[in-house]
Structure 1
Amino acid sequence: MRRFALLGAAGYIAPRHMRAIKETGNQLVSACDINDSVGVIDSLAPHSEFFTEFERFHDHACALKRQPGQALDFVSVCSPNHLHHAHIGAGLRLGCDVICEKPLVPTANQLDDLARTEQETGHRLWNILQLRHHQAIIDLKSRVQGGAVHKHEVDLTYITSRGKWYMQSWKGDPRKSFGVATNIGVHFYDMLHFVFGRLQRNVVHFADPLKTAGYLEYENARVRWFLSIDAKDLPEAVRGRQTTWRSITVDGREIEFSEGFTDLHTASYQAILDGKGYGIEDARHCVETVEAIRSAIPVTARDSEGHEFTSRLSRSA
């Protein structure tokens, strides 16, 4: 039984990590968040310690390290995106392996820094890249690799409606979330690389605080993509009935991956515990992709490269 701590326990994604810790037969020893709305701990790890100050959590972890058999083995990081780098570094220096939610960090330079911290501490950083464990994505990768080499035509659409609270939270602050493409899109870019190979071209056609769109060309695919947190972008056929719409088509064929989309953290944890998880170099491609998207100046889409939804949008300044 491995002993875990969790940073960011009050966040949206934290319960999936708590369940993964429990379902893999391990123990959540302590949790930390500045927000104390963490009642979910009662049903998943009722004996866990809880702290609202990182400094007190750190003292607690150091004290455990001095006691035989009580030291933490893992620190799971579910805190806001801009805190990942600091919290990962702290976990590694506490003598733990670290499991971090996406996006791992915002820049390739921070990846390099964490790689140095791994070397200094002898511990590993693992990233949750859950779509790599989705059977539909695994099957798609097998089809692409097993077929004739050519550029597949791909359209990726992900609309996940968010209320007014979103822009008032850290997620709506680009200094903390790093924007829509990074916060809700990074694991899709990882999936595209995982399936279609090396990225060759990266163009942005539209970007504002609520949505972004562009074109990615990989070794084996031409991808038109659109990401949004605006309910107004939902197709009329589903508007008012559902708040999220995901669609990936490959050569005109829909890839259904909605089922099981939210249930992959336990599979990710089990792979990590088995030594088969995804580390810094696995995450590098998607980190570099979103870093480039954030700094890109939107341009008018060329023929056949624009997502159909971008025709509704005015060009971003």
Structure 2
Amino acid sequence: MKKNFALIGAAGYIAPRHLRAIKDADSNLSVAFDINDSVGIMDSIFPQSEFFTEFERFYDFAHQLKRAPESALDYVSICTPNYLHHSHITAGLRLGADVICEKPLVPSPELLHDLLLVENETGKKVFTILQLRHHAAILALRDKVAKAPKDTKFDVELTYITSRGKWYAESWKGDDRKSFGVATNIGVHFYDMLHFIFGSLQENKVHYAGLNKAAGYLEYEHARVRWFLSIDANDLPDEVKGKKTTYRNIDISGEQLEFSEGFTDLHTVSYQEILAGRGYGLEDARHAVETVNVIRTASLSPIGVDVHPFVKRLVK
């Protein structure tokens, strides 16, 4: 039986993956919303869907759908800026639908607790997209770590530099009040991945925190991780500058984790798992939420042997 979806944030960067995942799940997009009207991609996927640029009109229409069982929404998918996630999630739950939201769900454990309260009030559930947990290379590494001797701790160096132009600072992503900072905005899926592979977090240090880059040290049950995240093209290694705008390197005790490929269908897989009753919920998101909350609020730790080598170029 086809499920009925609504989509909030239809003009966003990640929205096409959600549109295709809904289509691949043989489901129906009843209505979509975005304050921007650059949503022409809907013509090739869901041309008959209702669309609104005012939230009040969207919400009123979505609420009316509840009047008939065949039109009532089953799911509301959310692809909006980070700071709007909490409000849009609770709106979706109060429409009588389960919610699928991009990460970070919320910036703090307190707001995560509030979502749990609204789940209990409405009887509906929140699911998050943790697509790296479905990636074949990540699953293979997780299996390798699980088979290692119990006291094994891998030494991990995570470097991710994804260059952004001047537009970034003018967008919501460049406003820490809306994106919650670069470590949250581009790093949250890495922190979830590290927890998924290496177990519970035992230590969390921040060595550098700026508007366009951050770095620190995380220690898990089975890994010691030095991490560096940046949107500044000046941080690209010399061998990459002028050739690529992105540099991603994850070194695990001398071995490279290569997962550049295999992303195409991960949102579809995530939706399939959710619809099959195996989706990741609020408690699955908690670890990453707590991690980024500490990173965002922590005082800087002294530079020591656990610092990422790229930080040494920044601190004179």
81 and 236 in structure 1: CA distance in 2 versus 1, 3 angstrom threshold: same
Q: Which runs of structure 2 are paired with 1:13-28 in the superposition (5 Å)?
A: 13-28=14-29
Distance 1:225 1:119 in 2: 37
1:225 aligns with 2:230: no
The residue number in structure 1 matching 2:298 is: 296
TM-score normalised over the length of structure 1? 0.97
Please report the RMSD computed on the Cα atoms of aligned residues, expressed in angstroms.
1.0
Deviation at 1:24, TM superposition (A): 1.4
The residue number in structure 1 matching 2:249 is: 247
The residue number in structure 2 matching 1:277 is: 279
Provide, for residues 57-82 of structure 1, a one-character-per-residue CA deviation record: whole Å limited to 9, x for no partner: 00001111112411111000101111
Distance 1:62 1:40 in 2: 25
Q: Which runs of structure 2 are paired with 1:79-158 in the superposition (5 Å)?
A: 79-149=80-150, 150-158=152-160
Deviation at 1:239, TM superposition (A): 1.7
Provide, for residues 10-40 of structure 1, a one-character-per-residue CA deviation record: whole Å limited to 9, x for no partner: 1111111101111111111111011111111
Provide, for residues 178-228 of structure 1, a one-character-per-residue CA deviation record: whole Å limited to 9, x for no partner: 000111100100000011011010000101010000000001100000001
Unaligned 5+ segments in structure 2 are none
Secondary structure of 2:99 counterpart: strand
Tell me the matched-pair count.
Answer: 314
The residue number in structure 2 matching 1:168 is: 170
Distance 2:184 2:83 in 1: 11
1:179 aligns with 2:181: yes
Deviation at 1:236, TM superposition (A): 1.8
The residue number in structure 2 matching 1:267 is: 269
Unaligned 5+ segments in structure 1 are none
Match for residue 199 of structure 1 among 198, 201, 209:
201
The residue number in structure 2 matching 1:53 is: 54
- Runs of 4+ with deviation above 4 angstroms: none
Residue type of the partner of 1:26? S
Provide, for residues 255-301 of structure 1, a one-character-per-residue CA deviation record: whole Å limited to 9, x for no partner: 10111235411111111011111000000000000000000122232
Of 239-248 and 279-288, deviating more is 239-248
Residue type of the partner of 1:90? A
1:31 aligns with 2:54: no
Give identity over the alignment, percent.
65
Of 254-263 and 215-224, deviating more is 254-263
